[in-house]
Structure 1
């Protein structure tokens, strides 16, 4: 496939998958339960954090998290009492457990009280061509209050070699302007042009088969290579191709 044919093929796959039907089987359905900006941000962040493994389990456990917060994530983060956090005991999704969940609530409270919210933290540390340094700074802020060491593994750091798939997916949800009802485009202060593709085993394998990724590991260097290729196809909205790569990998076993 030449470059023109490849772009046409992927553009067609974007149209096929970037629509409301995608929501039915994807964790992005969790923030779609809400209308308040802060509820959407927090619900999305928590759902994205546990988005690895079986997709049905991810969605079920994300719903449990919302229920444990009284289905009012922002109000819970800002106004919870200790006994509300005690109800998290027994919550577990793979290696993310009640200890981690409890700390995440405290860290989010700290960010909304002292940094004017999640969008502001990422916006202040974004560069003109990447959000990966902003993710690194976000992790530092997220863990600047007293925290369990075990919990730090649940936020990836691109500057330490991670592709940071889950947090890049979250940023796609919040920033990308989507006319089709999947991504929210809530964070107007950050351009979708600086987003990075959520690189995982599915999107990575498809990208390699299509010849737009050569690096074998799904790490920060592979992400930079894939970003470069996708930005050549659409400089303003490169991560729309996540729908094509993911859809081809998961739904079509490409």
Structure 2
């Protein structure tokens, strides 16, 4: 489907309006951080939910709810005040290849970040480039695993500098940074700008982007992400990832 730039922008802008609204929340994992009002609770619940956001959306949402239940519906308090004995109840948790040992590692690493690096927002902002947060994600992973850790858990945090599209972390960053007047994305991280965000590239958004000639590269990797970001920034340099709603909606809800 080859549209002129103006036509493509009009088409996608209409789809953004269609999907970027509170109805979207009902079937999306973003509903989990929407259960909370405290900044740190939103961040931690959002990060943990995004981490397990692959596979069937229903099971992602159900398992993220289970995570919150295990954290006594107070994720920040649990992260900061847990004792060794409290972590044992997390062991039975499993979502695909993410298991209880990974969950415990994440809680421990998050405590390290809030205790020694002033929290998630400060850490991501520290290494941000003016046009991208991919460098931030790389440094975030280094800090996340600078404490004693399980080698197996490292696969659950992507590294864009190793050519990963880092879909789940980019989705989490969209939730936290993008200023959304429609009540979907939170926009609670004011130190970063929506213009720095990258599109959460997955099978659905990738396939739609190729059909619309926004993406030529076949693999959904870091190079494809750069290509897609470049094209989306041409459509809206201030808020390029709003088009994630259009690409995802067209793929998942319309089978485009």
TM-score over 0.5 for the alignment?
A: yes
Q: Give the corresponding residue for 1:121.
A: 123
Aligned residues: CA RMSD? 0.4
What does 1:26-175 align with in structure 2 at a 5 Å threshold?
26-175=28-177
- Determine the C-alpha separation between the residues in 2 that align with 1:167 and 1:40: 15
Alpha-carbon shift at residue 91 of structure 1 (Å) = 0.6
Alpha-carbon shift at residue 90 of structure 1 (Å) = 1.2
What does 1:218-237 align with in structure 2 at a 5 Å threshold?
218-237=220-239
Preserved CA contact (<8 Å) 2:51 2:156 = yes
Alpha-carbon shift at residue 89 of structure 1 (Å) = 1.9
Q: Which runs of 5+ in 2 are unaligned?
A: none
- Determine the C-alpha separation between the residues in 2 that align with 1:15 and 1:41: 25
Preserved CA contact (<8 Å) 2:232 2:243 = yes
Alpha-carbon shift at residue 84 of structure 1 (Å) = 1.1
- Determine the C-alpha separation between the residues in 2 that align with 1:211 and 1:116: 41
Q: Deviations over 1:1-51 (max 9, x none)?
A: 111100000000000000000000000000000000000000000000000
- Determine the C-alpha separation between the residues in 1 that align with 2:105 and 2:5: 46
Q: What TM-score do you get using the length of structure 1 for normalisation?
A: 1.00
Alpha-carbon shift at residue 83 of structure 1 (Å) = 1.5
Matched pairs, number: 254
Q: What TM-score do you get using the length of structure 2 for normalisation?
A: 0.99
SS class of match (1:87): helix
- Determine the C-alpha separation between the residues in 2 that align with 1:126 and 1:64: 33
Preserved CA contact (<8 Å) 2:124 2:140 = yes
Preserved CA contact (<8 Å) 2:91 2:104 = no
Q: Deviations over 1:88-109 (max 9, x none)?
A: 1211000000000000000000
- Determine the C-alpha separation between the residues in 2 that align with 1:115 and 1:139: 13
- Determine the C-alpha separation between the residues in 2 that align with 1:90 and 1:72: 19
User: Which of 15, 21, 24 matches 2:23?
Assistant: 21
Runs of 4+ in 1 over 2 A off after TM superposition: none
